[in-house]
Amino acid sequence: MTQRQNIAGTSPYEDIIKFSRAVRVGRHVMVSGTGPVGCDNADIAGQTDQCLTLIASILKEAGTSFEHVVRSRIYLTSREDWEAAARIHGKFFSLIRPAATMVIVAGLLDPRWKVEIEVDAILPE
């Protein structure tokens, strides 16, 4: 049986929604949608950078890193923000080039958020 490890983060929403910041199953790590907590009023570039910085921290705690990310999903509240968000995403993933999806949504949990990002990674061998 594959062992499951739930990894908690610092989101104020985790206890209300009853979710884990990340879940590690075998060599797979799935990181939940991560909003720009702490940079709620920043521009799209600042918010995207904050999301990915928070994700880097939880990946490290799970035993992996951006180098091992195989998929990312970016949720934006404005189509006009796609290129600025994409450039920051590219800063973190320029060499890795994970499979990626970018979706425009009507809104996110905190109305100040312009972006939310989730990733899937594999643990290094």
Q: Which pLDDT score, from 0 to 100, does residue 30 have?
A: 98
| Tens-digit pLDDT profile for residues 29-49 | 999 999 999 999 999 999 999
What backbone phi and psi angles, to 5 degrees, belong to 65?
Answer: -160, 180
Q: In Å, how far from its chain's centre is CA 33?
A: 5
Residue 1 clears pLDDT 70, i.e. is over it: no
CB-side neighbour CA atoms (13 Å) of 60? 6
With CA atoms as reference, report the closest residue to 71 among 5, 117, 27: 117
Sheet architecture: strand order including 4-7: 4-7, 22-25, 28-34, 115-122, 69-76, 99-104
Domains, the chain, in order of start with CATH, read 4-122 (3.30.1330.40)
What whole-number distance in Å separates Cα of residue 15 and Cα of residue 1?
27
| Tens-digit pLDDT profile for residues 61-95 | 999 999 999 999 999 999 999 999 999 999 999 99
Percent of the chain residues past pLDDT 70, beyond the cut: 98
Residue 11 clears pLDDT 90, i.e. is over it: no
Token output for 44: 């799209």
Q: Which pLDDT score, from 0 to 100, does residue 13 have?
A: 87
